[in-house]
Amino acid sequence: MNIRPGDQTQTAEQLETEWKTNARWSGVARDYSAQDVIALRGSVREEHTLARRGAENLWNLIHGAGNGGEEWVAALGALTGNQAVQQVRAGLKAIYLSGWQVAADANLSGQTYPDQSLYPSNSVPAVVRRINNALLRADQIERSESATASVDWLAPIIADAEAGFGGPLNAYELMQSMIEAGAAGVHWEDQLASEKKCGHMGGKVLVPTGQHIRTLNAARLAADVAGVPTIIIGRTDSLAADLVTSDIDERDKPFLTGDRTAEGFFRTTPGIDTVLARGHAYAPYADLLWVESAEPDLELARRFAESIHREFPGKKLAYNCSPSFNWKSHLDDAQIATFQRELAAMGYAFQFITLAGFHALNHSMYTLAKDYSQRHMSAYVELQEAEFASEKDGYTATRHQREVGTGYFDRIATALNPDSETLALVGSTESSQFH
């Protein structure tokens, strides 16, 4: 009998063997048993094709980086389905989904929020699903036009779970929702959920090291119960955060100052020593590690990578090439050009620009609107001409009707009625003016 992970016929003994023999789980720690997983699976298995496919693809991409594949996996933050489609069409192999961007302009409450976990916790899974739907549609459009597809549209999505929106049970449920939406990887930070801040804000409060391990463990348990090898990224904000909720964890005590705040939090000493302690503690429970930093700092990145790799050889790392950095105030053009390649050589296999979608969307629209207010149609026609010029590189959104699937649904209409006289693209301005 061919048993897949997550199969309801799988026994605890078989799952235990899978963990011990499959290279995917080499070095991965779990503070629960295979029997716990089997007991939680229930009698009916729901397939999570997009999450499984994405996780396997992302794992292969990350472990191909530097081994004959791409030097690193590059991603840009997307906040709409169409942004994600354009990223894949342009050649990116993965998509990053930032909680910051969801808070700002893509959450289910319809509000504009700062990055402080103010939005409904199911907002990021909803955007994961939206992006996957857009990628599925792009795949359907291409397949309906040609028997051979030129693009693997279902790029893996790495999504932001922030600080988990609560305790381990909340993390478990959130991870389950991410998997159901089709996320390939999910990252978790060691801040207190109720005080969560963007990593580049002040006022961050850490949870004890052991509490964050429970969060990572809860995420892994949810993935195991679902039978999906989701990539788990453990992030620490301890480079800058100078508060922690409790002094209970022995691993945190060397960094405590003995002071308390009005809220009852304990003051802790931020910096590289705290980062290394937490990174080493999280490494067995995460597939990748991420240190949130205040500036593009290769020396910090090197110290972290070398320390982690002494104890955990081959552990993959992630780096936020953040728009919160004023890049040219820290690096010259030559340093910027080689920055990511130097990171990749240290083992930073996943490198991403968190808020790329927010900045690209806002600046491009501001530029067009300002120009349009002054030069009217001449400004818009320049945009259209730029789109036409990009078609030689593979850009297709100039034909906006086709881009969103009008021809695909005409194909459905034709299948149902070969003599249909109500096809949408036939006789449209797009079919007559855009070739």
Residues designated catalytic: 198
Amino acid occupying residue 25: W
Q: Which residues pair with 188 in a beta bridge?
A: 234
Q: Are 54 and 75 in contact (CB under 8 A)?
A: no
Q: How far is CA 343 from the centre of its chain?
A: 19
Closest CA to 80 of 41, 109, 106, 115: 106
Q: Are 296 and 327 in contact (CB under 8 A)?
A: yes
Q: Are 61 and 73 in contact (CB under 8 A)?
A: yes
Dihedral angle computed from the Cα positions of residues 122, 125, 130 and 133, in that order, rounded to the nearest 10 degrees: -140
